Structure 1
Amino acid sequence: MLLYILLCLEIALRTVLEIRERRITQMRGGVFAVLRLIPLVNDIVPLPENRKEPQKSQFVEKHEEGHRVLRHSVLRNLMKVAFLMVAVWFFSAMVVRWNASFIEAVLWLHLAAIPFKWFFNWYCWNQEFEADAYAFKEVGKQKAKAAMQELAECEIPYTKLFASVYREHPTVALRSQRILKKVIGGR
């Protein structure tokens, strides 16, 4: 019974978050809004982050170089492996030790994964901020500002709360505030 109450609570909270986001951004949610409300589907269907791909610039190249120099992909993959190991342990314990059915174990795993997903997004955001700082140091303020303006034009403007739930990249507003001490685009 607790499982079904928690799933209903999750759906209700995601619905409130969707409505809040639509009101603040005045953008339509489309099919992705419906998919984000369905448990398990919202784990699989990725949220589109950009309307179009930003142009390659010197800042973007240095940002990607920052990821390589700081070994972010290795660290990110290690984090994924650690979370996968915890998920396998949790799923196995649910099925073997607590005699949960396969469906119940999958649903409990989905619910247990929510805080891990938020933590992973926070971890990825910090890596993005580090790569931005690396690129800022390499190319300077003017090129960084131009790159942030370009990214703001390409990005779908999400709020900080919505982005923290669904995105591995922080919004342009947060990124520009961090490196330029000035908010560019977004909310």
Structure 2
Amino acid sequence: MLGIFLILEIAARLTLEIRERRLTQMRGGVFALLRLIPLVNDIVPLPEHRKAPAESEFQKKHEEGHAELRHGILRNLAKIALLLLAVWLFAFLLASREMSLVEAVLWLHLAAIPFRTVFHLYCWHQEYEADHYAFEKLGKKVAKAAMRDLATSEIPYTKLFAAIYREHPTVAIRSQKILNKEIKA
């Protein structure tokens, strides 16, 4: 059963990679291959930017919004809750199901996929709140300029791909939320 789920995961990730390459017309490189391998895709970071985004007043207010809304603490509490759940599942698999260490790790990896995606969506909600905070403080004109600048430095992933791999929504999604207009590079 474990083998079937791992093969399905690899097939789903391969389909997602092919879909992403076709829609964005960008090469995947070594990172695309590493994301296909179970467990490795948990630790290989997804590059988010072509270059570091220019620091702006909007970015400062965005970060101020994170601090004001206590997002760091809330995000860390969510991580701790998920970590405790993972430890419980791991101990359950080892003790009650008498699985080998490798099997337990692979089952934990598979169980983490939906939880990681939900965590990403939670992080996205925090990003929207921080964007809204900065938008309220600085106005539409500054927010629009900041989104344009961010779009030029960001790698334009699709919404589905970003939800699976990123803790930050794409500029197109963020600009749609605060400006009701999708800004792309």
Normalised by the length of structure 2, the TM-score is 0.99
Unpaired stretches in structure 1, ≥5 consecutive residues: none
Q: Answer yes or no: is 1:19 the counterpart of 2:15.
A: no
The residue aligned with 1:67 is 66
The residue aligned with 1:158 is 157
Distance 1:95 1:58 in 2: 51
The residue aligned with 2:123 is 124
1:107-161 deviations in Å (ceiling 9; x for gaps): 0000000010011000000000000000000011111000000000000000001
1:153-179 deviations in Å (ceiling 9; x for gaps): 000000001001000000100000000
Unpaired stretches in structure 2, ≥5 consecutive residues: none
CA RMSD of aligned residues (A): 0.6
TM-fit CA distance, 1:46: 1.0
The residue aligned with 1:142 is 141
Normalised by the length of structure 1, the TM-score is 0.98
User: Identical aligned pairs, as a percentage?
Assistant: 66
Query: What letter is aligned with 2:46?
Result: L
Distance 1:52 1:62 in 2: 21
The residue aligned with 1:53 is 52
Distance 1:80 1:61 in 2: 25
Distance 1:49 1:77 in 2: 21
| Aligned length, in residue pairs | 185
Secondary structure at 1:99 match in 2: coil
Distance 1:58 1:139 in 2: 8
The residue aligned with 1:133 is 132
Structure 1 runs, 4 residues or longer, greater than 2 Å off: none
Q: Answer yes or no: is 1:32 the counterpart of 2:31.
A: yes
TM-fit CA distance, 1:53: 1.0
